[in-house]
Amino acid sequence: MLIIAGLGNPGGKYAGNRHNIGFMAVDAIHRRHSFSPWSKKFRAEIAEGELGGEKVLLIKPQTFMNLSGESVGEAMRFYKLQPADLVAIYDELDLPQGKARLKTGGGHNGHNGIKSLDAHCGKEYRRLRLGIGHPGVKEMVQSHVLGDFTKADKAWVEPLLDTLADNADMLVRNEDSQLMNKIALALGGKAEEERPAKDQRPTGQSHIQQARGHNQPKLPVTGPMADMLKKMFGNKGD
């Protein structure tokens, strides 16, 4: 069994917040696949269903973000699950809008919901971070995170959530890199970032060496100037 936990804050006041993109993600998965209606258990809203032939529990903790781990941890203990059986979906300030990253384990990066999950569920669970962008100024972080997505944001939020929902079975099959590629392509990016082209300068030469060898003036080999240079520097063998 796999638990997919979307993190957010309960209540209509927070429903459209950037901080609630985790809730939005599991809602999108719920709409796209055959899950039971939402019900209340483990101090959360939960729905049961199947993805990729495996039983899946969707969970939206109703404890408020900072106590998310209390709810998810209760569900994990009830089903006797390990951290490897959990995928947490949440917002990430330090990723550009629409970017997604998925990995097992790692730090909380100041995210209070993840701090709580780490404390109550262990740390070696899979973390699907959905980028909401950074406002650029530390003083604006709180208002940015707890602010609603704008109409312009729909251009990237909707394809991000739709692609995640369409391919949610990849989470069950641990096809993490393939899922990230699909999301990147849906958002107009590339499946793999291209490396910058290598400098075409001759191997083993520095920029200075190249400059010295480029457009050097030809020295006279005969005449008065050539004689003077020979007297000054003599003849050098190879």
Q: Please give the order of strands across the beta sheet that includes 100-104.
A: 39-41, 44-51, 54-61, 2-6, 86-92, 126-131, 100-104
CA distances from 19 to 4, 6, 215 (A): 17, 11, 60
Question: Which of 6, 19, 9 is closest to 145 using CA atoms?
Answer: 19
- Structure token digits, residue 55: 């039983």
DSSP 8-state symbol, 175: -
- Residue 19 falls in the annotated catalytic set: yes
Question: Which one from 19, 30, 108, 134 is the annotated catalytic residue?
Answer: 19
The span from the CA of 93 to the CA of 55, in Å, is 31
CA distances from 13 to 18, 69, 148 (A): 12, 22, 10
List residues with catalytic annotation.
19
